[in-house]
Structure formats: structure tokens, C-alpha cells
Amino acid sequence: MFRFSISVLLTTAVLPAFSQDNSPYSRYGIGDLTPGANINSRGMGGISAAIFDAPAPLSINYSNPASYAFFQSRKESKSNKLAAGRAILDVGINLDNRNLIEPNNTNKFGTSNLLFSHVQLGVPLRQNWGLSFGIRPVSRVSYQIASTERLVDPNTGQSIDTAGTLYQGSGGAFLPNLGMGYKFNFGKNDQLAIGAGVGYLFGSKDISSRRFFLNDTVSYNAGNFQTKTTYGNIMFNGGLQYTHAFNKGYALTLGAFGNMRRKLNASQDVIRETYYYDENLGNTRIDSSYETKDIKGDIIYPSSFTVGFALRRNFDFEQKKGDWLVGVDLVRSNWDEYRVYGAADPTVKSNWQVRVGGQLRPFPAANYFSNVAYRAGFFVGPDYVQVESRKLNTWGASLGFGLPLSNFSRTTAPNQITVINLALEYSRRGDNQSALKESLFRVSIGLSLSDLWFMKRKYD
């Protein structure tokens, strides 16, 4: 298991270096926000506040650290202080296909990219106590847009020249994280899980506008207006999940998680220069009219919280009935708190989102499809980017599947379980009244490997 873990970490670590994207909306705020939930949750519309795997955990809900308490599911005995629990390696990648459409224009631009999703490891510590750590992206900045325009003399109205502009942006944010969860049992029917996490949010944002003139007789130098910003600081988050079990295998879980706003330490380079393009050297500076490096400042990362519930029915082994769950999440992100070097960003606004989803697992039988988990969901709400006077509406729908793999080494590792989690998501940002409409089809593939730890061996 751990030999495979190292190879997966090395592979996913280099994925971002070979992936490109093109979303003009990533120009604003800290960029285009990546999914904050694991692939299981994405197949259910993104619900995660009240989601945990029990009694056999096979995935890691890193959105709510309270769910880490369920890595340990067996009862502890006096002779075995470390009862058996599941250690889980959860990794994932995304294949994004994005299309940009201008209203009243039949032309569209599309890109397809393979992107890193997450690497997360969950470890049981003791009964009702678990730990998880890993890394995931938070946002991406990636766009390249070229435009040309005809310059007109404002006094005479006559055409002067043709100018072109190349808008470029790159960067993004990542979050290495570490968290723990603990569960309290109140009788047979009630339990409360609480969790807390710490991480280091770091990232960069490099945006530039390259301006040049197109003239057959007069040669003009092109100009570059560029700003590079790097930032980072420690982040904290917390969560809880309260579950009440009813008769006949039904249970209701109420969940919540979130983070407080946080000041990020930032450094900024501001460059204003003339340049020329060389086929061998690329963009080469001629002269700088203004350049200031390592300008210290702060970026205020906003607070956010998510609340939700999930109603589930567990497997009924007497009547051979499968289990299911349905859930709803309400998300609130306070982007009005966002500040860059003390200044508010008018292009981002506080937003909300409603997520609805569910999962069905048939009662296991001899055929393979009865062992598959089936998921579906949708979400709706305005985007946090608002570059026009009206809100930028978003919506999306998803399907998901949990596909178990056969254990070909049952003699040496009888307790290992491997599941491929698949999520198909379609989302839309903007409408026909927006300056630019963006559609995204994402295929997310996750691999979850788990094995029992701390088992007390018995010999005959």
C-alpha cells in the first residue's frame, strides 16, 4: 500500500506543471475556485457537511474534519487498546473540458486539461479518534486572451492605427492540511463528532497585459503591464456532525464546518516595461519605465461556513435491503471581506450555494452491479465573481459511481479494499445576458485504497 502511495504522490505532484486552462473569470479574486469536496461528494452535487463513511470507511471527507472520527469503527477492548480501524489512501485527478461562448456569437472556444484533484491519507488513532493529512488545490489562475481594436482620433473621428492586447494570467493556491476528529457516544442512538484542522494556504497570481501597435510603416515598442503576487499563511477550520439513530435502521445527521477569515502575508512585484519578442529568447526587455519588487502587504482571505443534513437508511441484512442517503447543504462565503493590500476588490461579492444529492447502494449479491454505489445531485447559486452590475449565476448537476475492485491478493492482504470513485459533473456559469458564458464538463476519477490497522492477531 505505501509503495503505491509514494508513486501516486510523485505522479500527482507533477500534474499541475503540465496542465493549462483558459478561464477569463480566473482573473478575479484568488482565481477560479476548485471543488472543495472529495469525488464521492461531487457525485452527489457536492454535499459534505453531514457525510461520513460508516461502519466501514472507504473514503475521506476532507471538507469536514469531524468525519475523521469514523476511521475507527470497531469497539475497543481491554486486551486490545488499538482496535482495528481502516487506514485510507484517497487520491484523485480531474479531466476538465471547458467551453467559452459569447452571446449572439456561434463561435466558441474549448480546452481539455488533466488536473490534480487531491491526495489525502486517513489514519485511525484510537477508538473514535482519527487523523488525516494531505494536499489539494484551492484555486487556479489560467487564461490567455488576445484582442485587436481600431484606434480613432477623438477630435476628428478618423482612424489612426490598429492596436492589439494580450491578456495573460497564471498561478493558483494550494492547501497542505492536517486534521483530527473525535466522536462522543451518548447511549445507543446519539453521537457527536467534532474535528479541527490546520493547513498552510499558499499561492501566486501573475497577471499581465501586453499592448502593441500594428503599423506597416512605423515601428513601435510593445509595452508590458505586469503584477506578480505571492501569498501564504496558516489556516484553521473546524466542523461537527451530530447523528441520531431511529428505529428500522434510519439515522439523521446534522453537520457544519467552516473557517474564519485569515490574513495572508503577501509580496508583490509591479513591472512596467517595453519589450520585443524573439523566437529563441521569447519576450525580451528593452527598458523598464517602472519596477518595484517585494512590496510587502496583506491579503484578507474571507470566512465561509457550510451547514447541512443527511437522512440515511442502513443495510437491512434480514430483509436484504440496500442502504441510501439524501442530503442538503447550504454554503455561505463572505467574499465582501476580501482585501488586497487594504483595498476592497469590486469584482468579487459574498455568495451562497444550495447543494442537494444522494446515494443508493443495493444489497450486495453475486452480480457486480449490486455492489456499486450510485450517486446523483445538483447545485445552484451565484458565483463569487461579479464583473457586471448583475450577479453571475451558476448551476450544475452530477452523477457518481463507487466501483469496487476485486482483491487479487486475498491470501496475503485479505482486508484490503480498493474502490474507484467516478464523478461526472456539468456546470454552467453565466447566461445569455452575460458578457461571456462558460460551460464545464468534468470527469473526476479517484482511487481509494484501505486496509485494516491494529488488528489483534490470533494463532491456532
Q: Are 193 and 180 in contact (CB under 8 A)?
A: no
Q: How many CA atoms lie within 13 A of 296 on its CB side?
A: 1
Q: What pLDDT is recorded for position 188?
A: 87
Q: Are 359 and 58 in contact (CB under 8 A)?
A: no
Domains of the chain: 2-453 (2.40.160.40)
pLDDT of residue 84: 54
Cα–Cα distances in angstroms (integers) from residue 221 to residues 199, 287, 445, in the given order = 45, 10, 47
Query: Is residue 38 within 8 Å of 57, Cβ to Cβ?
Result: no
pTM of the model: 0.86
Instruction: Tally the C-alpha atoms within 13 A of residue 402's C-alpha that lie toward its C-beta.
Output: 28
Burial 298-326 (b: 16+ CB within 10 A, else e): ebbbbbbbbbbbbbbbbbeeeeeebbbbb
**The pLDDT value given to residue 290:** 85
Whether residue 22 contacts residue 131, with contact meaning beta carbons closer than 8 Å, is answered with: no
- The dihedral built from the CA positions of residue 42, 45, 51 and 54, taken in this order, carries a sign that is negative
Q: What is the pLDDT of residue 4?
A: 37
Count Cα atoms within 13 angstroms, Cβ side, for 268: 14
CB 459 within 8 A of CB 106: no
Answer for the pair 67, 195: CB distance below 8 angstroms, yes or no.
yes
Alpha carbon 104 to chain centroid, angstroms:
32
Listed as ranges, residues in the chain with pLDDT below 50 are 1-19, 75-83, 409, 411-413, 454, 458-460
Burial zone of 278 (CB within 10 Å; 0-12 exposed, 13-18 middle, 19+ buried): exposed
User: Which cell numbers in the block locate residue 344?
Assistant: 476592497
H, E, C per residue of the chain: CHHHHHHHHHHHHHHHHHCCCCCHHHHCCCCEECCCCCHHHHCCCCCCCCCCCCCCCCCCCCCCHHHHHHHCCCCCECCECCCCEEEEEEEEEEEEEEEEECCCCCCEEEEEEEEEEEEEEEEEEECCEEEEEEEEEEEEEEEEEEEEEEEECCCCCCEEEEEEEEEEEEEEEEEEEEEEEEEEEECCCEEEEEEEEEEEEEEEEEEEEEEEEECCCCCCCEEEEEEEEEEEEEEEEEEEEEEEECHHHEEEEEEEEEECCEEEEEEEEEEEEEEEEECCCEEEEEEEEEEEEEEEEEEEECCEEEEEEEEEECCECCCCECEEEEEEEEEEECHHHCEECCEECCCECCEEEEEEEEEEECCCCCCHHHHCEEEEEEEEEECCECCCCCCCEEEEEEEEEEEEECCCCCCCCCCCEEEEEEEEEEEEECCCCCCCEEEEEEEEEEEEEEEEECCCCCCC
pLDDT at residue 81, rounded to an integer:
46
Give tens-digit pLDDT for 150-177. 777 778 777 777 888 889 999 999 999 9
- pLDDT tens track for 221-254: 888 999 999 999 999 999 999 999 998 889 999 9
Cis check: omega of the bond before 55, within 30 degrees of 0: yes
Query: Using CA atoms, how far apart are residues 190 and 246, in angstroms rounded to an integer?
Result: 9
Identify which of 388, 330, 367 has the alpha carbon closest to the alpha carbon of residue 45.
Answer: 330
Q: Is the distance from CB of 152 to CB of 158 less than 8 angstroms?
A: yes
